[in-house]
Amino acid sequence: MLKDITLGQYYQTESLIHRLDPRVKLVGTICYIISLFLVNKIQGYVIALIFLAIIIRLSKVPFKFMVKGMKAILFLLLLTVVFNLFLTPGETLISIWKLTITKEGVRVAMLMAVRLSFLIIGSSVMTLTTTPNHLTDGMEKLLNPLRKLKVPVHEISMMMSIALRFIPILMEETDKIMKAQIARGADFESGNLIKKAKALVPLLVPLFISAFRRANDLAMAMEARCYRGGEFRTKMKPLIYQRADRLAYLILIIYLVICFLAGR
């Protein structure tokens, strides 16, 4: 059961967006989010909506996958809307008991709802069209200038990709240990929260020991294969900007300019 989970939420298909350089997608998503918070007129949001719709269309990912991401933040979304609706001071629209809805409140609440949903959908476009591996690669390359500030960029990205590789293995191991402990009479289901947390100890201790052992083995295997950090290393799949990527940057800039001019 635990074995089948896929990491991130990559949706495998062939599309223009899938083929883009991960750096373009990362920068694009960040710029899009910034644009959402910069504009505050209806026109701006219409442009943001059109832009997002075009991207989703181009990505060939079914829309229902984007909405999936929304479910997770539905509660947060509702909370934000309710708070903004009732707590924004201004011209009273309706007043029930002690609660008042103001004209400004309605406006801010709607604004926040739109911003948040666009933000979530926008970033799921990125995670749906880019493999976690590609994302770490893109991040490494984008953050490369930070190396001058002694930030271990290569090491961080290596750790991330190793973590991604080992998550399914450790999941499987958790499953195995859990079954082994259940067979010995361990009870993970009943009792209150504290009791349940305590029941996890016989699961976590062997898991940690095994994880450390694996880490030790892996480190040795990496050394045996001449791994010595990021220096001198070449890439099997280097990231090189293609024409489509440059074009995408250009479109992004045009979008940002239009958004800024129309939406402020």
Minimum CB distance to other proteins, residue 120 (Å)? 26
Q: Which of 14, 24, 12, 1 is nearest to 247 (CA)?
A: 24
Answer yes or no whether residue 96 interacts with other proteins by CB under 8 A: no
d(CA 88, CA 216): 56
- Residue from the set 160, 164, 256, 258 that interacts with other proteins by CB under 8 A: 164
178 and 203 Cβ atoms separated by less than 8 Å? yes
What is the contact mask toward other proteins in residues 126 to 145, using x (rule: CB under 8 A)?
Answer: ------xx------------
Q: In terms of C-beta density within 10 A (0-12 exposed, 13-18 middle, 19 or more buried), how is residue 107 classed?
A: middle
- Residue 116 found at the interface with other proteins (CB under 8 A): no
Q: How many residues bind other proteins (CB under 8 A)?
A: 27
CA distance 212 to 214: 5
Q: List the one residue from 16, 42, 99, 222 that touches other proteins (CB under 8 A).
A: 222
228 forms part of the interface with other proteins (CB under 8 A):
yes
Cβ atoms < 10 Å from Cβ of 149: 7
Q: Rule CB under 8 A: choose which of 42, 197, 218, 253 binds other proteins.
A: 218
**Among 15-23, 46-54, 99-107, 218-226, the segment contacting other proteins (CB under 8 A):** 218-226
Neighbours of 78 (CB within 10 A): 11
- State the minimum distance, in angstroms, from the CB of residue 206 to other proteins: 16
The owner of tokens 């883009």 is: 20
9 binds other proteins (CB under 8 A): no
What is the rounded CA–CA span in Å between residue 238 and residue 224?
Answer: 24
223: contact with other proteins by CB under 8 A: yes
Q: Does 4 bind other proteins (CB under 8 A)?
A: no
Site string for other proteins, 198-217 (x = CB under 8 A): ----------------x--x
Q: How far is the CB of 160 from other proteins (least distance, A)?
A: 11
DSSP state, residue 90: S
| Candidate list 1, 183, 226, 243; residue touching other proteins; CB under 8 A | 226
Dist. CA 22–CA 8, nearest whole Å = 15
DSSP-derived secondary structure for 113-153: HHHHHHHHHHHHHHHHHS-HHHHHHHHHHHTGGGGGGT--H
Binding-residue pattern over the window 230 to 249 for other proteins, x denoting contact by CB under 8 A: --xxxxxxx-----------
Query: In terms of CB distance, is 183 or 224 closer to other proteins?
Result: 224
CA distances from residue 247 to 152, 164, 253, 254 in whole angstroms, order as listed: 31, 31, 10, 11
| Stated length of the chain | 264
Q: Which residues bind other proteins (CB under 8 A)?
A: 132-133, 161-162, 164-165, 168-169, 214, 217-218, 220-228, 232-238
